[in-house]
Amino acid sequence: MSQGQTGAEQRLVTPGMVIGPSAGKRAGSGIVTAEESMIATQLGWLREQNNTVSIDPINAAYMPRSGDLVVATVAEVRNNLWFMNINGAFQGLLPMSLAPWKVEFGAARQHMDVGNVVLARVQEVDECHNVVLTMKGVGLRRLNQGTVESIPVQHIDRVRGDNNSLLQRMREACDCRIMVGENGRVWIDGDADGIAWARMALQMVAQDGHSKAFETILSEMEQTTKGDA
Amino acid sequence: MGGYGDVQLLNDDGSRLDGRKLDEMRPVTIEAGILPAAEGSAMVTHGLNVAVAAVYGPMEAHPRKIQRQDRAVIDVRYNMAPFSTSDRIRPGFNRRSREISKVTAEALESVVLVERYPRSKIRVEIEILAAEAGTRCVGITAASVALADAGIPMRDMIVGVASGKIEDTVVLDLDKAEDNYGQADLPVGILPNTGEIAFLQMDGDLSLEEYNLAMEYNFKAAKEIHEIMVDALRRRYDGGEA
């Protein structure tokens, strides 16, 4: 059984597996009901909380939702907008009206060019997966320094911990600024040793996140001094 | 005895040339998550067949004309490696691989919850590294495990199995000689939990009784292979525990 899980009941389920009768229970994410039975639709850990049965998927694609904080990369520039890679199935669109600067028509490239990294928020997602981003808001900005590391989307909550407790612990351990995007991208800024330490911890999450709790990974990493990472 | 005259496919004691019983399949092993670059992957060995499947996406469907506003499209590419058979196969798509790619995609579309990803594409690559009859079934099984490994939502997994007829006898899981010189072949894609059939093809003739027996063998084999599929995913993510 995975040590990376918490909760009452945890077992690995595969698509199509009948979990039990649906009577009196609500189907959460990853579950469908058919003929009064609950059926798993994804590979993951079964979780039951507050009478709702759901699955914590082992692998999942990032599906943007309105309000998500994301670390995005400029993929294309047009006269009046930027197409941003948000690590999802579709690119996000950042119009110049939602940029933090006053941008003249045709001058978008002067503010941000292909490859630039930004901290943005998902403004709107429609039913056809068109994503509109905004950089108007507190803390949303172009990220001019630091590095970006990727972790699986399904491990983000584990990296954060309750009330960001584990994330804060990691920030203090490596003495870096760290922002975790909902899209699985983590921005790290600090001294070189600190960045290397944080990247190694996040790479361990990507590698062993399905079998090991992030707290365990952090405890192991804290035995390593920053220079050794 | 059917069309190939003197070719003997059953021993005098009624067993098959490789010693299997009539309703016995070749040994199957499955490994999940073998390709780090893919979202999900699997390798299936079934007798001497070896298939590797990799899943990428969901991603934006290109070209745009293939996009569906209300669902994802499944883009399957089935390919046999040039070295997969004793005669070298000319690399690239051919009529057979196009047909198998199409039927595999249609079978997978019936189980994947495609409505969750409008305008998207889920790319499934199936590479047959070694072939010994029944590669379309092995490819479907591999693709199904790879899709589950990639976290793509599905209402069930698909198991590819085949039965056939040799010397007027229905047998499970034809090997190369039985496939080449037998009288009929019945590859099926079965949803093991619901018992539904996602695809079915028949090459040759079977009477109704023979068809029913062949399907009975197929369902029995599908349950066995499904257990191996689930076990492969558990080994990958749960250290083999239930």
Which chain A residues touch B151 with a CB distance below 8 Å? 42-44, 57-61, 154
Which residues make Cβ contacts (< 8 Å) with residue B184, sequence separation at least 6?
B164, B165, B202, B203, B204, B205, B206, B210
Q: Do A16 and B192 touch (CB under 8 A)?
A: yes
What pLDDT is stored for residue A127 in this prediction? 80
pLDDT above 70: residue B180: yes
Report how far residue B194's alpha carbon sits from residue A52's, in angstroms, rounded to the nearest whole number: 24
E-only strand ranges, B97-229: 120-130, 159-166, 169-172, 184-191, 196-200, 203-204
Question: Which range is most confident: A204-208, B75-79, B176-180?
Answer: B75-79
Residues A78-120: tens digit of each pLDDT? 999 999 999 988 899 999 999 999 988 988 999 999 999 999 9
Q: What is the mean pLDDT of chain B?
A: 93
Count CA within 13 A, CB hemisphere, residue B43: 11
Residues A27-40: tens digit of each pLDDT? 999 999 988 899 99
| Between A121 and B239, the higher pLDDT residue | A121
How close does chain B come to A138, measured CA to CA in Å?
31
Residues B61-87: tens digit of each pLDDT? 988 899 998 999 999 999 999 999 999
Report how far residue B77's alpha carbon sits from residue B165's, in angstroms, rounded to the nearest whole number: 29
What residues does each domain of chain B span? 28-238
What pLDDT is stored for residue A213 in this prediction? 73
Residues A116-172: tens digit of each pLDDT? 999 999 999 988 788 999 999 999 999 999 999 998 888 888 888 888 888 898 898
Which chain B residues touch A34 with a CB distance below 8 Å? 155
**pTM for this one?**
0.87
Planar angle of CA B36, B39, B44, nearest 5 degrees: 75
Residue of B nearest to A42 (CA): B153
Q: Do B148 and A15 touch (CB under 8 A)?
A: yes
pLDDT above 60: residue B163: yes
Interface of B with A in 80-139 (CB under 8 A): 111, 113, 117-120
Which chain A residues have any C-beta within 8 angstroms of a chain B C-beta?
1-2, 11-12, 14-18, 30, 32, 34, 39, 41-44, 57-61, 89-91, 127-129, 154, 210-211
Which chain A residues touch B60 with a CB distance below 8 Å? 89-91
pLDDT above 50: residue B242: no
Which candidate from A11, A129, A210 shows the least CB-CB separation from B118?
A: A129
Q: Do A32 and B155 touch (CB under 8 A)?
A: yes
Q: Do B150 and A128 touch (CB under 8 A)?
A: no
Rounded to an integer, the average pLDDT of A196-208 is: 84
Which domains are assigned to chain A? Answer: 12-57 (2.40.50.100), 69-143 (2.40.50.140), 147-228 (3.30.1370.10)
Query: Alpha carbon of A125 to those of A133, B54, B64: distances in Å?
Result: 9, 29, 19
Rounded to an integer, the average pLDDT of B155-169 is: 96
What pLDDT is stored for residue A225 in this prediction? 62
What pLDDT is stored for residue A1 in this prediction? 35
What pLDDT is stored for residue A165 in this prediction? 86
> Of B182, B181, B199, which Cα lies nearest the Cα of B190?
B199
Q: Does domain B28-238 have CATH number 3.20.20.140?
A: no
Q: Do B194 and A61 touch (CB under 8 A)?
A: no
What ipTM does the predicted assembly reach?
A: 0.89
